[in-house]
Amino acid sequence: MYTQALLALPLVGFVVTIVLQGTARRSPAILKTWALLAFVAMAAVATLAFPEIGDTYTGPMVFGSSLSIGLTDLSWWFVMMIAGITVLTSFFTLGALRDTGTYPMYYGWLFLKVFGMLGLVMSRDLLTFFIMWEIMSWATYFVMQQGKEEGREAALGYLVYAIVAGMVLLGGVLFIHQSAGSFEFAVITAYMAKAEFGILLASVLLVLVPFLIEAAVYPAHGWLPSAYASSETSMTAYLSSISTRMGLFGLILFVFSVFGLKAIDRIGISAHLNLRTILLVLAALTAVLPTYTALFQHDAKRLLTWHSIGQGGYMLLGLATASTLGTAGGLMHIFNYMTYVALIIFSIAAVEYRTGTTNLNKLGGLIVKQPVAFLGMLFGIIGLAGIPPMNGFVSKWFIYRSLILGGYPFIALAAFIATVGTIMSVYKLIHNTFLGQLPERYNDVKEVGLLMQLPIWILMGVVFTTGVFPGLILQWIAKIQVGMGIVPIAWTLGGVAREAGDLNMMVVTAVFMATFAVGAIIFFIGGKRRIVSQYDNYAAGHFLNKDVPYNFNYNFYSAFDHIFEKLYHDAPVQTAIRNLGRFVRMVADYVRRFFTGQINTYAAYYVAAVIIALAILKEIP
């Protein structure tokens, strides 16, 4: 009962928003309030739907099979994440979104996207999955359009990827239907268990490739940074935190449930050399390369969107080990990353709200002006860097341990290299935003209002609490692992039980608090201290004042730049890249004639493609 209501609510919200969009310019509060109320109601319904886990509801018949939805442990978990982050985002936009008039359909497309995502995670057959996937992709495109001018172009880039992914997925759906004779997951599972190798390989690849594109796994990650970074900032938080993970959801669903791990492991030549190995290598590349690209970004949002890719690599690393600890780490990392990346981007949004920029070379010293935003970002980056006691550490611990003991030393090394890169770039982020010298022009910057602070405080609480008591999350993950056909993790409130490893975050945190208190005691034993002006600073006897910029934030990691500049500026490589670029531009010039930039044209193409595909489907007996 609640399950259907859950799916219906965002759809109602979408329709109501279309009706109300005329009010956006005059009284934006109406739409904002409506969106918040609807999303809160959605979260409440999602909670109420808990007892309905395991039930399946069938909908209208399409092509001889009925669309069906239902909740599993995995999908309820995802539903809760979607609902939670949506409520927080819409709450944050109450304060943050100043010019609703510019984006009248902001909430409309958000509703549609939520509908698509909820439908996706609740779908119980292949056809529903595909339909919802398409709704979600298109809604994502429209959501991205609600941004700056350059955001529209970037969204177009996403659209190209999404259409490719959608086409491949359509092919996969049709192929599986043709082979297995049904859209139902159970039938497919049974079929795949003893399918021919070729059919298995083709269907796995056709289904996994779109997921990897949507999850922005290297090398299909190119669409993400500019598309996310040029969206409206609260939307960047939303997209980074949950939207990208839908691809990962599909991957979990198909690899572990629909195809089954046994079927997947048939693709390969040995226990250490199979499809999962390829996934591991891809994941390691995804973790390392984008993270080091993030290092050289000058825009806070863009820096974080590169991390969205990189951290996705960690999740895939954990999942691809298919071990108890690894999948637990991967699943938990999805939740953890969602919480702290939303926290960081909300903090950046708070800074942008007051200063009007996210350029890391222009900000600085804002800690005295926006302490709450600073604290939010601090909690967030500690989580992102994976340092105790925040939650990011726990999931990374699982992933490391599974990689080391699973016999993947170099993959584990890659994960650690990515961690070092993460630490470097998040320090640059917080240093250039909040630390260092406060430029004179930001002297009258104030903290943001309570409306925007509240989501930051809530997320800080979540990041810390789930870091200290990972058992709160792990109990769910254990249930999900049962559904995935993996030995569930032996969780305790503070981590994992002795047999599985040595981790008790409660003890770690308690000891840290105690030692921190010792530090505080030593601090207060020392003499009085006085807070001085930022211009009272060592400059080898030079008199500092507001006219003397005395700060270090440009080209922050110069040694890395120095080492890797050869890689980027070396002549043959450079020429090759330039030639490639020229070729791509030439091809794109032809392709551009197809892509007119008119949404109607794309819709027409798309409808045509779907009709052709369905016509083929009709022909097949």
Partner 1 sequence: MNSGIGLIVWIIAYPFVSFSLGVLLGGYGRKLTARIQRRVGPSWIQPFFDVVKLMSKKTNVSHGYMHDVAMMMLVGGTLLTMYFVPVPGFHYFSQFGDYIVIMYILLVPPLGMALGVGQTANPNGSIGIARALQMLAGYEVTFVLTFIGFAMKNGTTSMYELMMIQQSGGVATWGLVTNPLLGVAALFCLQGMMNEKPFEVVIAPHEIATGPMTEMGGKYLGMMFIQHLINLVVELTIYMNLFLGGATNWFEYVAKLFALFTLVMSVNAVYGRFRTDSALRFFWKLPLPMAALGVILIMINGI
Partner 2 sequence: MAEKELTQRTAWDKVLANLRKRSLWMLHYCTGCGAVELPPTMTSRFDMERFGIMPMVTPRQADILLITGYLSVKTLKRVILIYEQMVAPKYVVGFGSCTINGGMYWNSYTTIKALDRYLPVEMYLAGCMPRPEAIISGFNSLIDKIGKGEANSWKDYYENYEFYKKNQDHVFGDIETHHDVPADGRYFGILEAKR
Check residue 504 for interaction with partner 1 (CB under 8 A). yes
The nearest distance, CB 535 to partner 2, in angstroms, is 5
Evaluate whether 347 touches 456 at the Cβ level (below 8 Å): yes
**Which CA distances in Å does 117 have to 245, 321, 396, 473?**
10, 26, 26, 21
Distance of CA 106 to the CA centre of its chain: 20
**Which of partner 1, partner 2, none is residue 22 near (CB under 5 to 8 Å by kind)?**
none
**Which of partner 2, partner 1, none is residue 545 near (CB under 5 to 8 Å by kind)?**
partner 2
Taking the CA atoms of residue 255, residue 256, residue 260 and residue 262 in that order, the dihedral angle to the nearest 10 degrees is 90
Check residue 501 for interaction with partner 1 (CB under 8 A). yes
Supply the angle between the helices 324-355 and 409-434 in degrees, to the nearest 10: 20
Binding part of the chain for partner 1, among 70-78, 114-122, 138-146, 526-534 by CB under 8 A, reads 526-534
* Cα–Cα distance, 283 to 217 (Å, whole number): 7
Helices (H), 67-184: 73-96, 106-122, 126-145, 149-180
Check residue 515 for interaction with partner 1 (CB under 8 A). yes
What letters, b where the CB count within 10 A reaches 16 and e where it falls short, cover 535-561? eeeeeeeeebeeeeeebebeebbeeee
The nearest distance, CB 296 to partner 1, in angstroms, is 13
**Which of partner 2, partner 1, none is residue 541 near (CB under 5 to 8 Å by kind)?**
partner 2
The nearest distance, CB 531 to partner 2, in angstroms, is 11
The nearest distance, CB 527 to partner 2, in angstroms, is 8
**Structure tokens that stand for 66 in this block:** 């009925």
Residues of this chain, 432-461, that bind partner 1 according to CB under 8 A: 434-438
Residues of this chain, 533-552, that bind partner 2 according to CB under 8 A: 533, 535-536, 538, 541-545
In 3D space, the residue among 169, 59, 45 whose CA is nearest the CA of residue 124 turns out to be: 59
Check residue 568 for interaction with partner 1 (CB under 8 A). no
Residues of this chain, 332-371, that bind partner 1 according to CB under 8 A: 365, 367-368, 371
Q: Which helix (H) or strand (E) segment is 259 a member of?
A: none
Evaluate whether 493 touches 471 at the Cβ level (below 8 Å): yes
Length of the chain: 621
* Cα–Cα distance, 366 to 379 (Å, whole number): 16
- Select 446 or 530, whichever has its Cβ closest to partner 2: 530
The nearest distance, CB 557 to partner 2, in angstroms, is 24
Q: How far apart are the first and last CA of the chain?
A: 36
Whose structure tokens read 């890249």?
Answer: 577
* Cα–Cα distance, 13 to 139 (Å, whole number): 14
**Which of partner 2, partner 1, none is residue 386 near (CB under 5 to 8 Å by kind)?**
partner 1
The nearest distance, CB 422 to partner 1, in angstroms, is 11
Check residue 219 for interaction with partner 1 (CB under 8 A). no
Check residue 446 for interaction with partner 2 (CB under 8 A). no
Residues of this chain, 469-528, that bind partner 2 according to CB under 8 A: 527-528
Which string of x and - marks every residue 367-386 that binds partner 1 (by CB under 8 A)?
Answer: xx--x--x---x---x--xx
The nearest distance, CB 36 to partner 1, in angstroms, is 33
The nearest distance, CB 191 to partner 1, in angstroms, is 35
* Cα–Cα distance, 236 to 148 (Å, whole number): 12
In 3D space, the residue among 321, 612, 372, 336 whose CA is nearest the CA of residue 486 turns out to be: 321
Check residue 400 for interaction with partner 1 (CB under 8 A). yes
Binding part of the chain for partner 1, among 453-461, 475-483, 493-501, 600-608 by CB under 8 A, reads 493-501
Taking the CA atoms of residue 243, residue 319, residue 385 and residue 374 in that order, the dihedral angle to the nearest 10 degrees is 30
* Residue 504, strand partner residues: 495
Residues of this chain, 405-424, that bind partner 1 according to CB under 8 A: 405, 407, 409-410, 412-413, 416-417, 420-421, 423-424
* Residue of 19, 61, 269, 525 that binds partner 1 (CB under 8 A): 525
* Residue 125, strand partner residues: 184
**Which of partner 1, partner 2, none is residue 340 near (CB under 5 to 8 Å by kind)?**
none
- Select 537 or 574, whichever has its Cβ closest to partner 1: 537
The nearest distance, CB 287 to partner 1, in angstroms, is 14
**Which of partner 2, partner 1, none is residue 598 near (CB under 5 to 8 Å by kind)?**
none
The nearest distance, CB 403 to partner 1, in angstroms, is 8
* Residue 70, strand partner residues: 56
- Select 410 or 524, whichever has its Cβ closest to partner 2: 524
Quickly list DSSP for 303-335: HHHHHHHHHHHHHHHHHHH-SHHHHHHHHHHHH
CA atoms within a 13 Å half-sphere pointing along the CA-CB vector of 450: 0
Evaluate whether 428 touches 436 at the Cβ level (below 8 Å): no
Which string of x and - marks every residue 517-536 that binds partner 2 (by CB under 8 A)?
Answer: ----------xx-x-xx-xx
* Residue of 175, 296, 557, 606 that binds partner 1 (CB under 8 A): 557
**Which of partner 1, partner 2, none is residue 504 near (CB under 5 to 8 Å by kind)?**
partner 1
**Which of partner 1, partner 2, none is residue 119 near (CB under 5 to 8 Å by kind)?**
none
What residues make contact with partner 2 under the rule CB under 8 A?
Answer: 527-528, 530, 532-533, 535-536, 538, 541-545
